[in-house]
């Protein structure tokens, strides 16, 4: 008998190992059979722009790696081929020829317009689709149906900058500084001049060209700075320099000369790494931000006023590379999103690279409106008729070496004919630039800082936190509401938030400051499918239902919140939660949507949604599964052992062999009911219930074996009777092992 048991166990375990091995081999074979799809990435990986180029590569790799982990494209993995274009036209030309000869079916790049224009000629000739996330010159995509752009163009940029300088900063004169070695910067200086002087609204006093040759740069910069200092009407300075080392020399010379002119920098300078270049100077050591504080830069994305997707990207990038990304990483992450989407729709076969490239180009061209747009970090991703993006320009300002949203933004108006334009322009809500109209969008800096999270229940949680607002003008936070609030923890009869009664009100650095303390209970949408191995996201949010996001947006007060913060400091408010482990906290700009027409005829005709501005905190917690299992799983384990022991009782003990498992079954049902009482009503099966279902089957097994075995023994089928017993002794623990293994594999990262 003992030998038979050992033999059956050996056979069962061998078969299990064989099945697992064959499954692993089949996965490897399918991976080998699916030939990799090649994607080319071209970025400056050497020279002054190397750090930005590496960020481009890292962000694309982040998305591609995630796609490959999810199975790739129809079982085929994506392969990145990285090329160094050195950030100039000559390097880009050489790289483009190499890429054209490769098996890459799409190019992600280049960073600069000069490089993109030079490489674009080759991509057009070789019919190779390319996407850039940062090159602004219209020539990149003009008459080049194989080049696509996920950012605004230079004319749109110049129009917004000129409007901002005149309408917000109140400058009527300006000067332009560019690098004469860059054809794109030279062209952009003329575009800015045209936009600033349009309709006689302003005047460009002078355009200076820096000689960026290392042998001449210092002298050239100093001469221009001296001329600016001597020019009383120089006005605001448009700094169209894309090379950080050239911009660094200029700003150092300018500030050391004592020139205080306001500066509107180039998009390429919109990285916090640029501000850190000045840390070696004595002035910066004494006063962080001495050279860059107050400088404005245009950007396609501002993380302090970005949504949840952008914050998730920010967190993933920081976790993977241990550094903070800039607009470069965000935009080329979006480029990767668009490229992978196009490849998936094209479904390349790999037999003919020319055909595959054409299919990808057609997929990109079909992404031609908001209706078919795909979700990105900055909103819906799509291309207009010129293969460009309709994305608006955002303005950021340096403060203490950090980039924050400028206090006023412009958002383009899609359907101005539906508005009373003369009235809105007169009130100052709308500004006009040529035939285009923009809303004046006010930015309110806000923060929510958790003091303590007291309790997480079935569908609610209680929180104690500070919330504050910093704003210009009359944007009093009296209309703020917390839509998920249930009750005030201190005074149940009072509202959770009373905007009319701040605990502190004063003016800070020219901004109105209002501070409140909120203590209350809040609703939350919990997902219990993985219970008790679940992790939960708690959302704490407010919104302003009186204004649309076109008029006002809330930005995260990164300075006030001291973001990013050390992990130990982030954990402090959640140490009192005995059954939960804190995982992460994310701040993001949020908005609530309404499809109500509100009786407005324009809204009835347009079917437009109104978005109301807000801000959210998303806190992620992991349930302490081992604590739960030690309390709730032990009875099941003991009952399972008891049930298994019944299989070894002699058949003369018919009643104990059947009644003991039946009693265990009833006990399990009681435990399941008790378990379900710990959860709210849900319309799905949670993970722990599957364990109970397996347990119920195990309880039935001895009863069935006893009934069948008794019949076999009575009829004299001794061999069948013996094999039935041996099989039951093996199958029972085998089921337990498979169940434990399945849950261990599925939730191994959550056993805390």
> What are the pLDDT digits (tens) for 211-223?
999 999 999 999 9
**In the prediction, which pLDDT does 286 show?**
95
Mean pLDDT of the 170-198 span: 95
Helix (H) / strand (E) element for 286: namely helix 282-286
Coil, strand or helix: which one is 173?
strand
Please state, as a whole number, how many other Cβ atoms lie within 10 Å of the Cβ of residue 312: 14
**In the prediction, which pLDDT does 608 show?**
56
Q: Is the pLDDT assigned to residue 108 strictly greater than 90?
A: yes
Greatest mean pLDDT among 136-150, 401-415, 429-443, 555-569: 136-150
Q: Is the pLDDT assigned to residue 597 strictly greater than 60?
A: no
Residues 229-263 as b or e (16 or more Cβ within 10 Å = b): eeeeebbbbbbbbbbbebbbbbbbbbbeeebeeeb
Coil, strand or helix: which one is 240?
coil
**In the prediction, which pLDDT does 141 show?**
97
**In the prediction, which pLDDT does 436 show?**
86
The dihedral formed by the CA atoms of 18, 23, 28 and 30, expressed in degrees to the nearest 10? 140
Give me the percent of the chain exceeding a pLDDT of 70. 93
Give me the percent of the chain exceeding a pLDDT of 90. 82
Q: Quick one: pLDDT band at residue 545, thresholds 50, 70, 90?
A: very high
Q: How far is the C-alpha of 396 from the C-alpha of 45, rounded, in Å? A: 26
Give the predicted TM-score (pTM) of the model: 0.89
Q: Are 60 and 80 in contact (CB under 8 A)?
A: yes
Residues 109-128 as b or e (16 or more Cβ within 10 Å = b): bbbbbbbbbbbbebbeeeeb
Q: Quick one: pLDDT band at residue 751, thresholds 50, 70, 90?
A: confident
Closest CA to 414 of 393, 392, 394: 392
Going from the C-alpha of 710 to that of each of 470, 648, 659, 721, the distances in angstroms are 81, 14, 15, 8
Q: Are 128 and 357 in contact (CB under 8 A)?
A: yes
Mean pLDDT of the 44-62 span: 95
Q: Are 140 and 149 in contact (CB under 8 A)?
A: yes
**In the prediction, which pLDDT does 564 show?**
86
- Compute CA 699 distance to the chain's CA centroid, rounded to the nearest angstrom: 47
**In the prediction, which pLDDT does 55 show?**
98
Q: Is the pLDDT assigned to residue 474 strictly greater than 90?
A: no
Q: Is the pLDDT assigned to residue 158 strictly greater than 50?
A: yes
Q: Is the pLDDT assigned to residue 96 strictly greater than 80?
A: yes
Mean pLDDT of the 689-707 span: 95
Least confident of 4-13, 517-526, 527-536, 587-596: 4-13
**In the prediction, which pLDDT does 535 show?**
94
Coil, strand or helix: which one is 239?
strand
Mean pLDDT of the 706-717 span: 93
Q: Is the pLDDT assigned to residue 277 strictly greater than 50?
A: yes
Q: Quick one: pLDDT band at residue 14, thresholds 50, 70, 90?
A: low
Q: Quick one: pLDDT band at residue 418, thresholds 50, 70, 90?
A: confident
Pairing of strands 263-265, 236-239: parallel
**In the prediction, which pLDDT does 600 show?**
55
Q: Are 265 and 239 in contact (CB under 8 A)?
A: yes
Return the ∠ at Cα 133 (arms to 131 and 136), rounded to 5°. Answer: 100
- DSSP states of 329-354: HHHHHHHHHHHHHHHHHH---SS-HH
Q: Is the pLDDT assigned to residue 322 strictly greater than 80?
A: yes
Coil, strand or helix: which one is 691?
helix
Coil, strand or helix: which one is 59?
helix
Please state, as a whole number, how many other Cβ atoms lie within 10 Å of the Cβ of residue 13: 13
**Phi, psi at 233, each rounded to 5°:** -105, 25
Closest CA to 53 of 244, 319, 304: 244
370 is written with which tokens? Answer: 């908001």
What is the pLDDT of the chain when averaged over all its residues? 91
Q: How far is the C-alpha of 420 from the C-alpha of 600, rounded, in Å? A: 14
217-230 helix and 244-256 helix, angle to the nearest 10 degrees = 40
The length of the chain in residues reads 752
Q: Are 193 and 207 in contact (CB under 8 A)?
A: yes
**In the prediction, which pLDDT does 594 show?**
66
Q: Are 692 and 633 in contact (CB under 8 A)?
A: no
Q: Are 251 and 276 in contact (CB under 8 A)?
A: no
**In the prediction, which pLDDT does 7 show?**
53
- Rg, Å, the chain Cα set: 33
Q: Is the pLDDT assigned to residue 482 strictly greater than 50?
A: yes
Q: Is the pLDDT assigned to residue 18 strictly greater than 80?
A: no
**In the prediction, which pLDDT does 32 show?**
41
**In the prediction, which pLDDT does 222 show?**
97
Please state, as a whole number, how many other Cβ atoms lie within 10 Å of the Cβ of residue 549: 22
Least confident of 352-361, 460-469, 481-490, 558-567: 558-567
**In the prediction, which pLDDT does 27 show?**
43
Coil, strand or helix: which one is 300?
coil
């Amino acid at each position: 008998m003992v030998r038979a048991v050992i033999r059956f166990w050996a056979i069962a375990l061998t078969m299990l190992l064989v099945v697992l091995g064959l499954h692993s081999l089949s996965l490897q074979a399918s991976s080998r059979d699916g030939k990799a799809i090649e994607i080319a990435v071209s970025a400056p990986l050497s020279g002054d722009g190397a750090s930005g180029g590496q960020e481009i590569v890292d962000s694309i790799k982040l998305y591609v790696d995630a796609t490959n982990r999810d199975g790739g494209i129809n079982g085929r993995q994506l392969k990145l081929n990285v090329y160094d274009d050195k950030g100039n036209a000559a390097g880009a030309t050489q790289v483009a020829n190499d890429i054209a000869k490769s098996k890459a079916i799409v190019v992600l790049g280049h960073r600069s317009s000069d490089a993109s224009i030079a490489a674009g000629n080759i991509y057009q000739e070789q019919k190779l689709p390319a996407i850039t996330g940062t090159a602004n010159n219209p020539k990149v995509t003009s008459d080049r149906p194989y080049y696509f752009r996920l950012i605004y163009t230079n004319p749109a940029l110049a129009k917004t900058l000129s409007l901002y300088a005149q309408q917000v900063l109140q400058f009527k004169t300006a000067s332009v500084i560019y690098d004469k070695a860059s054809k794109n910067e030279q062209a952009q200086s003329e575009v800015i001049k045209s936009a600033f002087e349009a309709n006689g609204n302003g005047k460009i006093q002078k355009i200076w060209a820096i000689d960026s040759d290392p042998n001449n740069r210092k002298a050239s910069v100093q001469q221009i700075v001296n001329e600016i200092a001597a020019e009383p009407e120089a006005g605001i300075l448009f700094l169209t320099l894309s090379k950080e080392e050239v911009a660094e020399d200029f700003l150092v010379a300018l500030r050391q000369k004592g020139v205080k002119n306001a500066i509107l920098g180039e998009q390429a300078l919109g990285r916090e790494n640029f501000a850190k270049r000045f840390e070696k100077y004595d002035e910066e050591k004494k006063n962080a931000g001495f050279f860059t504080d107050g400088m404005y830069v245009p950007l396609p994305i501002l993380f302090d006023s970005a949504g949840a997707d952008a914050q998730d990207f920010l967190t993933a990038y920081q976790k993977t590379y241990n550094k903070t990304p800039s607009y470069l990483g965000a935009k080329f992450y979006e480029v990767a999103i668009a490229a992978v989407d196009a490849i998936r729709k094209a479904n390349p076969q790999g037999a003919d690279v020319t055909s595959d490239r054409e299919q990808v180009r057609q997929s990109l061209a079909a992404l031609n409106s908001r209706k078919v747009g795909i979700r990105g970090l900055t909103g819906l991703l799509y291309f207009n008729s010129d293969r460009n993006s309709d994305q608006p320009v955002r303005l950021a300002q340096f403060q203490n070496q950090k980039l924050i949203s400028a206090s006023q933004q412009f958002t383009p108006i899609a359907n101005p004919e539906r508005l009373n334009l003369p009235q809105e322009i007169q009130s100052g809500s709308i500004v006009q630039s040529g035939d285009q109209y923009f809303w004046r969008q006010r930015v309110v800096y806000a923060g929510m800082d958790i003091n303590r999270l007291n309790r997480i229940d079935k569908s609610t949680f209680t929180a104690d936190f500070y919330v504050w607002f910093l704003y210009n003008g009359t944007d009093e936070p009296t209309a703020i509401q917390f839509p998920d609030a249930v009750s005030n923890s201190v005074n149940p009869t009072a509202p959770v938030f009373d905007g009319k009664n701040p605990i502190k009100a004063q003016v800070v650095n020219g901004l109105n400051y209002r501070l409140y303390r909120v203590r209350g209970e809040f609703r939350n949408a919990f997902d219990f499918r993985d219970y008790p191995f679940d992790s939960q996201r708690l959302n704490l949010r407010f919104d302003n239902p009186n204004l649309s996001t076109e008029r006002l947006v809330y930005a995260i007060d990164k300075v006030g919140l001291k973001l990013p913060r050390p992990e130990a400091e982030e954990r402090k408010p959640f140490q009192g939660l005995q059954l939960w482990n804190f995982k992460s906290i994310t701040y993001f700009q949020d908005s609530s949507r309404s499809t109500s027409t509100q009786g407005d005829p324009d809204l009835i005709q347009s079917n437009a949604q109104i978005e109301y501005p807000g801000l959210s905190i998303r806190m992620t917690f992991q349930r302490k599964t081992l604590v739960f299992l030690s309390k709730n799983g032990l009875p099941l384990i003991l009952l399972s052992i008891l049930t298994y022991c019944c299989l070894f009782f002699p058949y003369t003990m018919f009643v104990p062999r059947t009644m003991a498992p039946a009693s265990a079954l009833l006990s399990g049902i009681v435990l399941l009911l008790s378990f379900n009482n710990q959860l709210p009503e849900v319309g799905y099966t949670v993970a722990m219930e599957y364990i109970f279902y397996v347990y119920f089957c195990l309880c039935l097994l001895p009863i069935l074996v006893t009934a069948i075995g008794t019949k076999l023994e009575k009829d004299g089928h001794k061999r069948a009777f013996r094999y039935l017993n041996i099989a039951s002794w093996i199958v029972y623990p085998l089921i337990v092992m498979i169940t434990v293994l399945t849950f261990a594999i599925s939730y191994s990262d959550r056993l805390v």
